């Protein structure tokens, strides 16, 4: 049975639809950064997703090639994730998507090293005929966060975030967005195959105690 982060790390990937505090450990990711409206057809965000999956599946299928990764075991490619912010703002203004800064990521198993990652970028670029050079190896330690399972369209997220903010106020926490501590989303549904009202998205915000 292939290792599946969603099943093995349910605390971080399958929260309930009510806020909860979690302490998120460090993790490695394939990352591509950019700016602009994620809904732009053929835009930078959609190109970034293509690059992420090209590299992710090259690593996932590496055991069928001549390249061997130490400690490799079969796993399910984790879901797409994203870190979002807008310059000069605390929070996210969903009405101004063109001003989004984003880092799109796919998590890597711990046994994959930076050297393995670099092999995958070169290999994917050749085999998939797509320039993957914008992908980079990212390590993040999110630490203390509040998270929730958001059900519905991405544009309705402010309602869920308001619930999270009330929870923080009632329980002695405040948001702590600074540096690489960013608004984080994990996409558990494919918007191409799922009705907007049925989309499942983990929303995670960095926090600290008051």
pLDDT tens-digit readout, 81-128: 999 999 888 777 888 889 999 999 999 999 999 999 999 999 999 999
Name, in order, each residue with C-beta under 8 angstroms of 127's C-beta and a sequence gap of 6 or more.
58
User: Which parts of the chain register pLDDT below 70?
Assistant: none
Task: Give the pLDDT confidence score for residue 180 in this predicted structure.
Answer: 84
Rounded to two decimals, what is the model's pTM? Answer: 0.95
Distance separating alpha carbons of residues 124 and 57, to the nearest angstrom? 9
Burial profile 15-28: b = 16 or more Cβ within 10 angstroms, e = fewer: beeebeebebeebb
Helices 114-127 and 44-60 cross at an angle (nearest 10°) of: 110
Distances (CA, A) of 49 to 65, 93, 130, 139, 143: 24, 22, 12, 18, 26
Distances (CA, A) of 44 to 36, 98, 103, 159, 201: 7, 11, 11, 28, 21
Task: Give the pLDDT confidence score for residue 174 in this predicted structure.
Answer: 96
Task: Give the pLDDT confidence score for residue 95 in this predicted structure.
Answer: 83
Task: Give the pLDDT confidence score for residue 90 in this predicted structure.
Answer: 76
């Amino acid at each position: 049975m292939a290792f599946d982060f969603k099943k093995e790390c349910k605390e971080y990937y399958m929260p309930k639809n009510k806020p909860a505090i979690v302490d998120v450990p460090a993790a490695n990711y394939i990352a591509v950064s950019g700016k602009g409206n994620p809904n732009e057809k053929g835009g930078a965000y959609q190109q970034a997703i293509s690059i992420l999956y090209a590299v992710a599946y090259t690593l996932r299928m590496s055991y069928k090639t001549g390249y061997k990764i130490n400690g490799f075991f079969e796993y399910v490619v984790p879901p797409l994730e994203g870190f979002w912010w807008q310059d000069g703002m605390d929070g996210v203004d969903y009405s101004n998507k063109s001003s989004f800064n984003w880092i799109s990521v796919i998590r890597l198993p711990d046994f994959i090293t930076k050297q393995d990652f670099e092999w995958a970028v070169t290999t994917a670029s050749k085999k998939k005929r797509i320039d993957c050079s914008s992908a980079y190896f990212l390590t993040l330690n999110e630490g203390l966060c509040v998270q929730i399972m958001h059900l519905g369209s991405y544009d309705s997220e402010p309602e869920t975030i308001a619930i999270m903010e009330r929870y923080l106020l009632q329980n002695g926490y405040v948001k702590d967005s600074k540096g690489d501590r960013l608004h984080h989303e994990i996409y558990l549904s494919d918007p191409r195959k799922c009705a907007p009202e049925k989309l499942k998205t983990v929303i995670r915000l960095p926090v600290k105690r008051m």
